[in-house]
Amino acid sequence: MNTTAEESTIVDTHEFGFATRSVHAGARPDPTTGARATPIFQTSSYVFEDPESAAAYFNLQEYGNTYSRIMNPTVAALEERLANLEGGIGSVAFASGLAAQSSALFTLLQPGDHIVASAALYGGTVTQLKHLSRKLSFGIDFVDPDDLDAWGRAATPETKLFFGETIGNPSGNILDIESIARIAHAAECPLLVDNTFATPYLCRPIEWGADIVVHSTTKFIGGHGTSIGGAVVDSGDFDWSNGRFPVVADASPAYHGLAFHDTFGSYGYLMKLRTETLRDLGAAMSPFNAFLFLQGVETLPLRMDRHVDNAYRVAEWLKTRGDVSRVRHPALNANYRELVQKYLPKGAGAVFCFDLKGGREAGQAMIRKVQLFSHLANVGDAKSLIIHPASTTHRQLSDSELEAAGIGPGTIRLSIGIEDANDLIWDLQQAMSQ
């Protein structure tokens, strides 16, 4: 069909909605076969047109597929879609959320640097950060995410990154992204936000000043518990040539003296993340997993609406229980009411905790009796999930770290799925009965 100049202008200026972009961004019918679904390019490598083009690809003078550890067409479609939904300039996908996270850090830090991080992070993240800090010789201070003054006090001349989660796992605190971004930028540092629990449907941290966003695509992005993956999205706004980030801005000895930020401008960090960090650490996402994540993203808005509504109904019911001492759903916490309205107007996610008065024994007894909920270490599935964090996902943390993360002996974490809410309440009720 021929398109007039006027029609082309309308298409170019029209702003597509989130649901439309969840289905279409980054994907086009395959030009060779006409396949509408993005094909799975299950290949390790690619044939070059000629020696000159191959050299240009490896010199980063032209952009093209060289090897699937570094780039792959199926994975690229997912990367483009996630960047589009988050409002970033680009994205790099990885084999897991923790791989994405560690790669994001590895790309910008050097020995002697320092991180200021929320104390209410996922237990695996806390363990990773502490382990990496010892192995890679950088410092880290964990602060109360709700205490804005603490973020600024923790910063030192060596601080190179501020790090938090949109919705804390599992404490349910809401990060004041805009305020912390302001503090980070005053210290000439980027703010990295893990947006896994919110997804770009509920919150887009880049719109509030975050510079880098990370995801465990394993969770709500995929939505069906089938695949492990992660992604880093870059806003493209941070000035890596401010004199404080030689790892990104200076000539790279690992890439024949290439200065990434000077050469690629706003894409400098992403290019280094892909062509050095991903190349060297090798945590590449498989094309098949990328295909499954693309299918998941297509229904993200529909699923998140149901997740959020179900979670709120279950949390409200739990508040009526005499054997529950506390329900920690962000939307029910008066301390976070304004932050929820500001950052999460469509809902405060579907993962939250509650505390049983009977402590550890009551929690374990309840988990043994559930029938509809699945007892496993994941969140963001279409199915409802349950776990006891102190003995599983946060087991490596000390008592003081557990307390800082808001986890007690009777804390139960729920990831509410898309079943009928009444059935979920029935299952919890029968599991909590004596």
Q: What is the pLDDT of residues 416-427, one digit of tens each?
A: 999 999 999 999
How far apart are the C-alpha atoms of 338 and 336, rounded to whole Å? 6
Left, alpha or beta for 421 (phi > 0: left; psi -120 to 50: alpha)?
alpha
Is 113's pLDDT higher than 60?
Answer: yes
Is 331's pLDDT higher than 60?
Answer: yes
Helix (H) or strand (E) holding 328: strand 324-328
308 by Cβ neighbours in 10 Å (0-12 / 13-18 / 19+) ranks as buried
Work out the average pLDDT over 24-53: 92
Indicate the range of 168-177, 236-245, 314-323, 419-428 predicted with least confidence: 168-177
Output the DSSP codes for 163-227: EEESB-TTT--B--HHHHHHHHHHTT--EEEE-TTTHHHH--GGGGT-SEEEEETTTTTT-SS--
pLDDT at position 123 is: 82
| Nearest C-alpha neighbor of 92 from the set 204, 201, 231, 244 | 231
The CATH number for 301-432, chosen from 3.90.1150.10, 1.20.1250.20, 3.30.70.560, 3.50.50.60, is 3.90.1150.10
| pTM, rounded to two decimals | 0.93
| Nearest C-alpha neighbor of 80 from the set 93, 68, 67 | 93
Alpha helical stretches, state H, 123-172: 123-136, 148-154
Task: Name the band, by pLDDT with cuts 50, 70 and 90, for residue 1.
Answer: very low
The answer to whether residues 180 and 151 touch, using CB atoms and an 8 Å cutoff, is yes
Burial 235-248 (b: 16+ CB within 10 A, else e): bbebebbeebbebb
More confident residue, 21 or 14: 21
Work out the average pLDDT over 122-142: 91
Task: Name the band, by pLDDT with cuts 50, 70 and 90, for residue 219.
Answer: very high
Is 34's pLDDT higher than 80?
Answer: yes
Q: The tokens of 38 are what? A: 């993005």
How far apart are the C-alpha atoms of 215 and 233, rounded to whole Å? 8
For the chain, the distance separating the N- and C-terminal CA atoms, rounded to the nearest angstrom, is 68
How far apart are the C-alpha atoms of 135 and 114, rounded to whole Å? 13
Helix (H) or strand (E) holding 75: helix 73-86
Q: What are the Cα distances from residue 346, in Å, to 82, 171, 434?
A: 19, 20, 36
- CATH number corresponding to 18-296: 3.40.640.10
Report the amino acid identity of residue 206. I
pLDDT at position 169 is: 85
The widest CA-to-CA distance across the chain, in whole angstroms, is 74
**Where exactly are the structural domains of the chain?**
18-296, 301-432
Work out the average pLDDT over 127-132: 91
Percent of the chain at pLDDT > 90 equals 79
| Nearest C-alpha neighbor of 183 from the set 140, 126, 219, 143 | 143
Is 199's pLDDT higher than 90?
Answer: yes
Percent of the chain at pLDDT > 70 equals 95
Could you give the 3-state DSSP secondary structure of residue 355?
strand
Backbone angles phi, psi at 268, to 5 degrees: -60, -45
For every residue of 22-54, which 3-state class applies, written as one string?
HHHCCCCCCCCCCCCCCCCCCCCECCCCCHHHH
pLDDT tens-digit readout, 234-270: 999 999 999 999 999 999 998 889 999 999 999 999 9
Task: Name the band, by pLDDT with cuts 50, 70 and 90, for residue 58.
Answer: confident
Task: Name the band, by pLDDT with cuts 50, 70 and 90, for residue 54.
Answer: confident
How far apart are the C-alpha atoms of 165 and 358, rounded to whole Å? 30
Indicate the range of 148-152, 167-171, 312-316, 385-389 predicted with least confidence: 167-171
Most confident of the following: 10-19, 30-39, 344-353? 344-353
